[in-house]
Amino acid sequence: MVKKIIMKSYLGLILLFLYLPIVVLIVFSFNKSKSRGNWSGFTLKWYKELFENSQIMDSLYTTLLLAILSSIIAVIIGTFAAIGIHNMKKFRKTMVMNLTYLPVLNPDIVTGVSLMIMFVFIGSIIGLKLGFITMLLAHITFNIPYVILSVLPRLRQMNKHMYEAALDLGATSVYAFRKVIIPEIMPGIISGFLMAFTLSIDDFVISYFTSGSGVSNLSITIYSMARTGVKPTINALSTIMFVSVLLLLILINIRSAREEKRRKQYDA
């Protein structure tokens, strides 16, 4: 009994530690003054200012678009790559895996500056300027390894002979791939997608160096405010993002809980 209370309060403490900063952030998005020290009254003016600030809205749009596009493309490329790597022989597999680890282990600034130099060099030959496309390519580049690293374990766990069994039962290779392999590795694909999405939204260094004029990521906009002070409009933006994700997760959880209950009722 006591053990249970201790366990629950320990869990509670950990959750508090994790979420208290976010709660403070949300509370201060309603603060009348710019400072994060004084509470001088409740106001919604920062939310109003947020929607009128075209620079922040532009950055938000760019960030979301970049995250979604780069995650989807990275997932497609990464999944196929993972399947290919899974079926390679030992030596080639090790080589390719080492190559895959490179963007993960490299410091962001090395990746960022080298990509920028490469884009400028190639750009001078084929006329490609730094801009949204280069930023997208850079994001896809650093997302792919994480997708590969998410999908590979699921492939390893999968029964080796599933694909063969499906073919034996009369499926074409495409059908077998679609209906047998993909559902098996789907959890890996989803976690790879979420990982890529999060990394893309969060990234600053690589985005900064590979972006062109007029294209700004949310991270770049916020980081540039570091010298003069981050305004509570950013608090307001973060609150909205946090609440959206929270609502989405609650919705998904309610749905799957309802499905579970319905299935249990049918079984009874």
Instruction: Please give the residue ranges that form the binding site for other proteins (CB under 8 A).
Output: 33-38, 51, 54-55, 57-58, 60-61, 64-65, 68, 113, 116-117, 119-120, 123-124, 129-131, 134, 208-209, 212-216, 220-231, 244, 248, 251-252, 255, 259
- In 3D space, the residue among 48, 228, 209 whose CA is nearest the CA of residue 139 turns out to be 209
Alpha-carbon span 159 to 152, nearest angstrom: 13
Nearer of residues 224 and 238 to other proteins, judged by Cβ: 224
Which CB atom, from 86 or from 131, has the smaller least distance to other proteins?
Answer: 131
| Cβ closest to other proteins, residue 135 vs residue 152 | 135
Min. distance of Cβ 185 from other proteins in angstroms? 15
* Distances 252 to 15, 263, 266 between C-alpha atoms, Å: 21, 17, 21
Rounded to an integer, what distance in angstroms lies between the CA atom of residue 181 and that of residue 44? 50
At closest approach, how far in Å is the CB of 59 from other proteins?
A: 9
Q: Report helix, strand and coil shares of the chain as percent, to nearest 5.
A: 80, 0, 20
CB of 217: closest distance to other proteins in angstroms?
11
**Cβ at position 154, least distance to other proteins in Å:** 18
Q: What is the DSSP secondary-structure string of 154-213? A: HHHHS-TTHHHHHHHTT--HHHHIIIIIHHHHHHHHHHHHHHHHHHHHH--HHHHHH--T
Question: Smaller CB distance to other proteins: residue 15 or 254?
Answer: 254
- At residue 223, what are phi and psi to the nearest 5 degrees? -65, -35
With CA atoms as reference, report the closest residue to 47 among 66, 32, 65: 32
Q: Is the CB of 14 or the CB of 245 nearer to other proteins?
A: 245
Q: Could you tell me the smallest distance in angstroms from the CB atom of residue 231 to other proteins?
A: 7
Q: Which is nearer to other proteins, 34 or 86 (CB)?
A: 34
CA 183, CA 166: separation in Å to the nearest integer? Answer: 13
We find the least distance from the C-beta atom of residue 159 to other proteins, in angstroms, to be 22
